[in-house]
Amino acid sequence: MNIGRPGRRRRRRSYSLRARVAGAAAAGAVLIVAVVSAIAIPAIEHNNLQQTDQQLRIASRLVLIEPVVAVGVVNLLGPDRDMALTVRNDDQVLASSSVELPELEPGEKTVTVDETPYRVLTTTENQPAGRSVSLGIPAAEAAEMTAEQQRWVLFGGLLAIAAAAGLGWLFGGRAVRPIVVLTRQVGARTGYGDGTPEPVDSSGVLEAEQLADAVNTMLGRVARAQTDTAAALETARDFAAVSAHELRTPLTAMRTDLEVLATLDLDESQRTEILADLQRSQGRVETTLAALERLASGDLTSEHDHIDTDIAELCDQAAHDAKRHYPGLTVRIDTDFELVTRGLPAGLRLAVDNALKNSVKHGGATEALLSAHRAPDDTIVVSVDDNGRGLPPEERETVFARFARGSRADKGGSGLGLALVAQQAQLHGGRAYFDDGTLGGVRLVLVLPHRSIGRAGPQVSTQGL
């Protein structure tokens, strides 16, 4: 009993397409030969019997004139003439040759006498009442001729099958040549300089052209997947390198502070200052790790995570939370009612929260206007205007990069807040950018495509917090 690993399926033996074409041709020939033989072999036997019966009918025209005399002539000629003749009156044999034929009904029939088959014609034509004449000739010669003809038919059929297989192999090689060429092209394909796979080509056979198109489509998808994988790997490497660099600075400062605490005799004020510096460094590390976690979570989202999201309600909640976290900030809201789109509620909320946080921490804003409206092109535009220090025009694009900080930014930031805003805009199929503000500072704009049918009208609510 075999107790090996279950479920392993034995691989089936493979054959070349050329061999399959030859086999198909041979199988077709076998089918045709079988049908032809099934018709021809009985036809040959029937035809030979008809010829024998025709000979009997011709001979009977002479015998029926005087059948008794004909019996004497047959006996005179001797048994080597291979003919038998028997005349009967009712049930009595009136005359017979050396070979006596049995009593038969009128008509043609094959009988065996002394182990010799005879084809016999029995008739009562032109005879007195009660008389019947049976005339027979040996059927062995006709049977031999029939068997020989049938053997020739079978031999011809076998020859046709062999010829079909050979021609199938010969012409099958030419028929499958486009597939062979296509296989060689796929096996030996190279890439262009830009990494695009060299397309395979096959012409002259419809199936080969369709297969070439399918292979080219597959190779294109593989190339795009390889390109995306390489780009993602390169991005991950850069991200890891920059993250390590950004975390190294506060960690180095923390190590230095710990060494000072461990080796030097400090008074209370110095210890307080070192501990405060440690707390700031720890907070920076924690903030950076939290932002990195959010960026990673954003990269792992998919279209299935998107749900219908009310932007107006989301902005209202973000404004109330900003007022609670930053008591010195006044936030006004200007949004359309029921401004619904399909998106990531947590991601969009993170983008709006970071925009307000950036205005307070790095812009020093005390007033902000949070607005969300449907644009004429059916996009949804979310913006945060503030009265802070603003942002130089030459820095308005670079600050969206990871770990990038503006020249006027607070030194304690992680440099990932605006990167999170840009990531969420990209995940929603939109974009983020800075523009001149309406309150004296800068205006952060988030453009989102409208991906669901909202029931909101053009009503607008304005509320100060």
Helices 268-299/417-427 angle, 10° precision: 10
Strands 131-138 and 116-123: antiparallel
Handedness of CA 354, 357, 358, 359 (dihedral sign): positive
Both 112 and 36 in one domain: the answer is yes
Sheet containing strand 107-113, edge to edge, reads 92-96, 84-89, 131-138, 116-123, 107-113
Q: How far apart are CA 117 and CA 373, in angstroms?
A: 110
* 392 within some domain: yes
Judged by DSSP in three states, 131 sits in: strand
pLDDT of residue 368: 92
* 24 within some domain: yes
Q: How far is CA 398 from CA 256, 393, 405, 430, 432, in A?
A: 32, 10, 8, 18, 12
Judged by DSSP in three states, 425 sits in: helix
Tens of pLDDT, residue by residue over 448-460, are: 887 654 443 333 3
Both 45 and 145 in one domain: the answer is yes
CB 210 within 8 Å of CB 201:
no
CB atoms within 10 A of CB 430: 19
Both 459 and 311 in one domain: the answer is yes
| Tokens at 275, concatenated | 């501990």
- Burial-class residue 462 by CB neighbours within 10 Å (0-12, 13-18, 19+): exposed
* 196 within some domain: no
**Nearest in space to 461 (alpha carbons), one of 353, 370, 381:** 370
Both 309 and 233 in one domain: the answer is no
Looking up residue 434, the CATH number of its domain turns out to be 3.30.565.10
What 8-state DSSP symbol labels residue 305?
G
**Nearest in space to 441 (alpha carbons), one of 379, 365, 377, 371:** 365
Length of the chain equals 465
pLDDT of residue 394: 83
Both 266 and 362 in one domain: the answer is no
Q: How far apart are CA 96 and CA 74, in angstroms?
A: 9
φ/ψ of residue 299, rounded to 5: -65, -25
**Total number of domains in the chain:** 3
pLDDT of residue 98: 79
Q: What is the DSSP string of 314-352?
A: HHHHHHHHHHHH-TT-EEEEEEETT-EEEE-HHHHHHHH
Q: How far apart are CA 79 and CA 81, in angstroms?
A: 5
* 161 within some domain: yes
Both 37 and 158 in one domain: the answer is yes
Identify the domain boundary among 218, 253, 288.
288
Both 341 and 379 in one domain: the answer is yes
Q: How far apart are CA 240 and CA 447, in angstroms?
A: 29
Amino acid residing at 32: I
Identify the domain boundary among 170, 193, 217.
170
DSSP H or E segment with residue 272: helix 268-299
**Nearest in space to 170 (alpha carbons), one of 69, 346, 21:** 21
* 112 within some domain: yes
Both 159 and 21 in one domain: the answer is yes
Both 270 and 348 in one domain: the answer is no
**Nearest in space to 374 (alpha carbons), one of 443, 310, 318:** 310
Q: What's the domain range around 217?
A: 207-288
Q: How far apart are CA 67 and CA 134, in angstroms?
A: 10
Both 127 and 254 in one domain: the answer is no
CB 333 within 8 Å of CB 385:
no
CB 338 within 8 Å of CB 456:
yes
pLDDT of residue 40: 84
Site of tokens 């199929």: 429
Q: How far apart are CA 34 and CA 160, in angstroms?
A: 11
Both 323 and 452 in one domain: the answer is yes
* 294 within some domain: no
Both 142 and 243 in one domain: the answer is no
End-to-end CA distance of the chain: give it in Å, rounded.
82
Q: How far apart are CA 78 and CA 221, in angstroms?
A: 95
Identify the domain boundary among 229, 259, 288.
288
Q: How far is CA 46 from CA 26, 138, 264, in A?
A: 30, 16, 126
Q: What is the 3-state secondary structure (H, E, C) of 65-122?
A: CCHHHHHHHHHHHCHHHCCEEEEEECCEEEEECCCCCCCCCCEEEEEEECCEEEEEEE
Which residues, 6+ apart, have CB-to-CB distance to 192 below 8 Å? 198
CB 414 within 8 Å of CB 287:
yes
* 6 within some domain: no
Judged by DSSP in three states, 230 sits in: helix
Under-70 pLDDT residues of the chain: 1-15, 68, 73-81, 175, 187-208, 232, 235-236, 238-247, 249, 284, 287-288, 290-304, 402-415, 451-465
pLDDT of residue 284: 65
Please tell me the number of Cα atoms within 13 Å of 258 on its side-chain side.
Answer: 9
* 99 within some domain: yes
What 8-state DSSP symbol labels residue 439?
S
Strands (E), 209-283: none
| Tokens at 297, concatenated | 């979570």
